[in-house]
Structure 1
Amino acid sequence: MVLNVIWILFFFGAFIGCVVQWLALGNTGIFNTTILAAFDMSKTAFEIALGLTGVLSLWLGILKIGEKAGAVQILAKIVQPLFSRLFPEIPKGHPVVGTMLMNLSANMLGLDNAATPMGLKAMKQLQELNPNADKEVASDSQILFLVLNASGLTLIPVSIMTYRAQMGAANPSDVFLPLLLATFFSTIAGIIAISFFQKIKLKDPVTLLWLGGLSAVVIATLAYFSHLSAEALGTTSLFISGFILFAVIISFLGLAVYKKVRAYEAFVEGAKEGFQTAVMVIPYLVAILVGVAVFRASGAMDLVLSGVSHLLGLFGIGNDIVPALPTAIMKPLSGSGARGMMIDTMKTFGPDSFPGRLSSIFQGAADTTFYIIAVYFGSVGVRKTRHAVTCALIADFVGIIAAIAIAYIFFPPN
């Protein structure tokens, strides 16, 4: 319901933006520009889904090997004490727990191409466990899993540091610590919001122990990387990401050999699922990305930014953050759009300026919420999202607020 309202508002907002451009600025071509943007984005959405097919086939094939060899079940047993409390709908020892763990781990390492196929696989398994008679209604477990993805906890933001290096930042890794802190607060906010709707008891000793342990890991990672030089940080990040990913593949294959599982046949079986999933995602992807495209092309996004700038002025807040706001506003809507906004901000104001650094933090502090909802829920035919959008946006909002506060602490504007 919420996603339906937001999607419709994209188009009404875009029409209002076009009318303002026409009457106030005399831009008679804005309507045609907006329509062309919709056509272009529908083509782009298909190309994204097409490109996703190969990646999905690869990783769902690898996951199938791990599933048949028992690796996923081993991971499930490790995190069962925590997940049994956060996901009471999931039977003890179910392989979906291991799949979710791999997805969340890949997200933390900034491995988007690996995380998405694992996430889609997990969502399909959760749909099989969906207790709702109407399978178009999202289950509690599906919503919590989606919000954990949307909150975007990131330990190693490799891609953002790479873009900053390409834009000429003196120290591309200087946003590493702010990003880690911002995404940590975002994830905690998402869990708390979900616990309110789903009556999850976060005060449970086991839950507190696990969350405290994860917090300790974040703090330890923060302390370790804070002592590395910019060059060493980038090299170490890439090494850890690549090593863990390849180690997972080799572990699955090694276990398959030990258990005498036909790895090749298992891979092909999983790869077929990847192709089917990619095809099912296309309509949902086209819908959400076209909505974002018309809202942006019509100038409605610029109107929103002007309103935000005026509102900040009323509260006596400076306009230092305004140039970076397009990234924050676009990120929940479109990853590529937010990336473009971030690069444009760094190009205009400089990568080491306050807006340049803040836009980089915004890029990592939130995730492509509506893209994730469209793809993850769309892949299993879920249409009624219940409180998923609300909780995901709460996590995004907290991440953005945390990003602003942390940026002022780490990089106070002149």
Structure 2
Amino acid sequence: MVLSRFWLAIFISSIAFIIIGLFVGDHYTIDFILNGKKDEPIQVAEKYLNQVPRFVADSIEKAPDKTLVIDQITSDPDTTYVYKNQTVKIYSGVQKSDGLLPTCKNTILDLIIPLIAYLAFFCGLMELLIISGAAEKLAKGLSPVFVKIFPSVPKNHESISYMTLNFAANFLGLDSAATPFGLKAMQSLQELNPDKDKASDPQIMFMCLHAAGLTLIPTSIIGYRAAENAANPADVMLPCIITSFIGTVAAFLIVGIRQRINFKSVSLVVGLMALIGAIVGLLFYINALDLIGKNYFTSNLSGLMLVGIIGFTLVFSWMREKRFTAADTTIFDTFVAGAQNGLKTGITIFPYVLGMLVAISLFRNSGLFEIISNWISFAFSQMGVGKQVTDSLPVAMLRPFSSGGSRGFMIDAMRTFGPDSFTGRLVCIFQCSAETTFYVIAVYFGSVKIKNTRYTLGTMLLVDLICVFAAIFVASWFF
């Protein structure tokens, strides 16, 4: 219900703002909102040739392509004059994101089709884990801890295996593998849900822990920093880990208090301490490496783990081939059956993702997001927050809405202020230590057709906010 109202609020407020902007002259045309593409110039006026300054008209007439680009202020986008069909079209600024129609097209071409491919492959592997009995063994081993975090989930339930694989994939930065595992976990938890339209306690806990985005090897962030020629691309790795860990603990405590979880459980404390110990141990090892060693280790660990999961699944299935025979199937046929389920899941979630991304497209292109962002930055500056922090806030604000949008702001901030500046590092921590909240809710709850998400959205946004403050504190401490 909350998500539905929020979605409606984004849509209606954006449309109203677009219409008002058109009539008061903020927009010359709203075609870019419908048909424009990200980073394309925006038309701001159209005049006859004799209405533009004389030097502009002379330059246009002399230019072979009848186009003039003026770059008077290098910090602002170029102003472009294009003479065509007896009029001069004037462009200034660039579009923040794809328009409504390109978003619809790109959602299926650039997002859903690749996602379906990932889902098909990893769901095929998960079907092998189920039939071979590997999932059952994993669930049995982790049940003492998970039964305390998810008290309503039966001991040794298969959802424990899927949640573990999802957390492990996120932990290692394996986004392509994390989503299929997470969707399978949601479907498995939905089987235990007595009210199929309403999110259950285990589903809410899983979603909020997932949203905290606990990451050990932020490979993509390191790659972006290396591409921008950072002196030490991996220097934000430890702050990213600490910030995401704070967010994960906060999510667990907030939801745990709401669900009256017993925090004094011995197995829960032991599991948490083991996780902290593993993180600290690995951090000590990584910090002992030189720059080349860090880059080599971080770039290979995630890949090796993914290959290891695939290899283990296939080898274990081959060793337990009799179980497949008893189920009147083969290893390959089982993989195909699982892949078909992944295909169906991808088709199911498409409308949910489409609806959310179109709303976000309107929200950004309407200019409403930019105004809200500027006011928040102004409010923080009035509270004494430094400009280096306020320059980073657009990434933190956009992260819950759009991973691609916030990534664009992150890259732009590194190019504008430098990858080794405080702002350049802080935006990387923002990008790494949170999840694309609205996209995740649309995908995960959409896959099981849950309509009432209860307090999930509010909790996930609160966790995002905690991660923002934690990132600022950790970045100030380190840099």
TM-score (norm 1): 0.95
Q: Does 1:74 align with 2:142?
A: no
Q: Over residues 221-249 of structure 1, what are the superposed CA-to-partner deviations in whole Å (9 max), with x where a residue is unaligned?
A: 22222222232112112222122111111
Q: What is the Cα-based RMSD across aligned positions, in Å?
A: 1.5
Distance 1:125 1:108 in 2: 21
Tell me if the contact between 2:377 and 2:393 (Cα under 8 Å) persists in the aligned partners: no
Q: Does 1:259 align with 2:320?
A: yes
- Aligned with 2:391: secondary structure? helix
Number of the residue aligned with 2:66:
none
Q: Over residues 277-296 of structure 1, what are the superposed CA-to-partner deviations in whole Å (9 max), with x where a residue is unaligned?
A: 00001100001111111111
Higher helix residue share? 1
Higher strand residue share? 2
The structure with the larger Rg is: 2
- Aligned with 1:27: secondary structure? coil
How many residue pairs were aligned?
A: 408
Number of the residue aligned with 1:125:
188
Distance 1:303 1:21 in 2: 13
Distance 1:288 1:402 in 2: 27
Q: Does 1:272 align with 2:340?
A: yes
Tell me if the contact between 1:158 and 1:234 (Cα under 8 Å) persists in the aligned partners: no
Q: One-letter code of the match for 1:115? A: A
* Greater alpha carbon shift after TM alignment, 7-16 vs 239-248: 7-16
Tell me if the contact between 1:225 and 1:233 (Cα under 8 Å) persists in the aligned partners: yes
Show the 5 A alignment for 1:342-353: 342-353=410-421
Number of the residue aligned with 2:307:
246
Q: Over residues 156-177 of structure 1, what are the superposed CA-to-partner deviations in whole Å (9 max), with x where a residue is unaligned?
A: 0001100111111111101001
* Greater alpha carbon shift after TM alignment, 288-297 vs 253-262: 253-262
Q: Over residues 103-160 of structure 1, what are the superposed CA-to-partner deviations in whole Å (9 max), with x where a residue is unaligned?
A: 110000000001111111111111111122xx11111111111111111000000011
Q: One-letter code of the match for 2:204? A: I
1:23, distance to aligned residue in structure 2 (A): 6.3
Show the 5 A alignment for 1:225-240: 225-240=286-301
* Greater alpha carbon shift after TM alignment, 204-213 vs 293-302: 204-213
Distance change in 2, residues 1:24/1:342 (3 Å): farther
* Greater alpha carbon shift after TM alignment, 298-307 vs 54-63: 298-307
Number of the residue aligned with 1:311:
379
Taking only the aligned residue pairs, the percentage that are identical comes to 38
1:265, distance to aligned residue in structure 2 (A): 1.0
Q: Over residues 21-67 of structure 1, what are the superposed CA-to-partner deviations in whole Å (9 max), with x where a residue is unaligned?
A: 446663222x3322331212122222211111111100000111111
Distance 1:26 1:258 in 2: 67
Tell me if the contact between 2:123 and 2:339 (Cα under 8 Å) persists in the aligned partners: yes
Show the 5 A alignment for 1:202-241: 202-241=263-302
Q: One-letter code of the match for 1:143? A: I
Distance 1:114 1:183 in 2: 19
Which of 167, 171, 185 is 1:108 aligned to?
A: 171
Distance 1:282 1:264 in 2: 27
- Aligned with 1:280: secondary structure? helix
Distance 1:55 1:161 in 2: 23
Tell me if the contact between 2:437 and 2:461 (Cα under 8 Å) persists in the aligned partners: yes
Which ranges in structure 2 are unaligned for 5 or more consecutive residues? Answer: 36-98, 325-329
Tell me if the contact between 1:281 and 1:375 (Cα under 8 Å) persists in the aligned partners: yes
Distance change in 2, residues 1:270/1:16 (3 Å): same
Which of 462, 465, 469 is 1:397 aligned to?
A: 465
Q: Does 1:95 align with 2:94?
A: no
- Aligned with 1:152: secondary structure? coil
Tell me if the contact between 2:381 and 2:390 (Cα under 8 Å) persists in the aligned partners: no
Q: Which has the higher relative contact order, 1 or 2, with Cα contacts under 8 A spaced 6 or more apart?
A: 1
Which ranges in structure 1 are unaligned for 5 or more consecutive residues? Answer: none
Which of 89, 102, 105 is 1:40 aligned to?
A: 102
Which of 124, 128, 132 is 1:65 aligned to?
A: 128
1:381, distance to aligned residue in structure 2 (A): 0.5
Show the 5 A alignment for 1:145-156: 145-156=206-217
TM-score (norm 2): 0.82
Q: Over residues 171-218 of structure 1, what are the superposed CA-to-partner deviations in whole Å (9 max), with x where a residue is unaligned?
A: 110100110000000000100111122111112222122112212222
Tell me if the contact between 2:208 and 2:460 (Cα under 8 Å) persists in the aligned partners: yes
Number of the residue aligned with 2:399:
331
Q: One-letter code of the match for 1:27? A: H
Number of the residue aligned with 1:15:
15
Number of the residue aligned with 2:53:
none
